[in-house]
Structure 1
Amino acid sequence: MIMKPAYVASNPDYAIQLKSLVLAMPMAKWLGIEFVKIAPGEVELEITCREELSFAPGKMQATAIFAAADFAGVSAAGTLLSAGWINASIDSNLKIVAPADGEKLRARGRVVSSGKLLTVSAAEVFSVRDSEEVLCATALLTARNIELQRK
């Protein structure tokens, strides 16, 4: 059994900062991302299925699935950033394992390895129907941690 490291956020306002940064992004707004959980090294979010995110009635398109995984994994990495830092996706690998044909997508991201400049995270994306989760994708992501310019 693999033990999860217990991460501690160095920024006491990590959840507020993360949520405001992500939800200010036009893509996050358009997707309708809703954060369910934000904890050091972990994020859970949901995206409600709707027609413009599908490739056929009731079937979520791969891009929406990838977005859920990317936002969850990179956001999990963002929970460990110091104040004055942001991050951005630089690499990812998504494997779709089942159709996303539920009412919403639920993505859980978690940090795998945290460093000063790079953070690796993983995410699982579930298709949710009538509160039942079916794994539809798994991802491994790398984020570049970026210190904001000081004035």
Structure 2
Amino acid sequence: MDDIVRTRIRDSFSAQSMMTTLGAQLDSIAAGEIVITAPILPGVRQQQGFGHAGLTFSIGDSAAGYAALTTLPIENEVVTAEIKINLLAPAQGDRLRATGRVVKPGRRLIVVSAEVHALKDGNATLIAILQGTMVPVSI
């Protein structure tokens, strides 16, 4: 993976107003794998004080999508065709970490997954698993 791909992903991530609103940051870029973290801010909590599933889903979807993008030529972008989430535990902690991975790359469909962990006091708890399909599109 070259610096052009890394720069492209960083620039694209920076342009996402949703990620900015959530305070999310791009922590790691590797071929077929992206890590995004976000704080569990007061404005993204659900009624019981846990991080909202919407936060979990948003960073999981973005991590999986950017992982797919690492496998594509520079003239392509990617959009989510479908993605499902299994919520495994409450999002208790200070931050969430989403690790998106490519399961099966392709020219027309890319199967992806993401794991989301809640980080608290140096411990990471798996709180969600996502699996989906990304579709390459020409820009």
What's the secondary structure of 2:129's corresponding residue? strand
Say yes or no: does 1:26 pair with 2:17: yes
The correspondence for 2:103, drawn from 89, 109, 112, is 112
CA distance in 1, matches of 2:47, 2:113: 28
CA distance in 1, matches of 2:3, 2:59: 25
Say yes or no: does 1:92 pair with 2:83: yes
Say yes or no: does 1:139 pair with 2:98: no
For normalisation by structure 2, the TM-score amounts to 0.94
CA distance in 2, matches of 1:116, 1:86: 12
Q: Which runs of 5+ in 1 are unaligned?
A: 1-8
Flag as ranges the 4+ runs of structure 1 deviating above 4 A. none
For normalisation by structure 1, the TM-score amounts to 0.87
Give the C-alpha shift of residue 105 in structure 1. Answer: 0.3
2:42 is aligned to 51
Matched length: 139
Q: Which amino acid aligns with 1:74?
A: G
Q: Which runs of 5+ in 2 are unaligned?
A: none
CA distance in 2, matches of 1:120, 1:89: 10
Verify the 8 A CA contact 1:51 1:57 in the aligned structure 2: no
Give the C-alpha shift of residue 79 in structure 1. Answer: 1.1
Structure showing greater radius of gyration is 1
Verify the 8 A CA contact 2:26 2:35 in the aligned structure 1: yes
1:61 is aligned to 52
What's the secondary structure of 2:65's corresponding residue? helix
Q: Which amino acid aligns with 1:135?
A: L
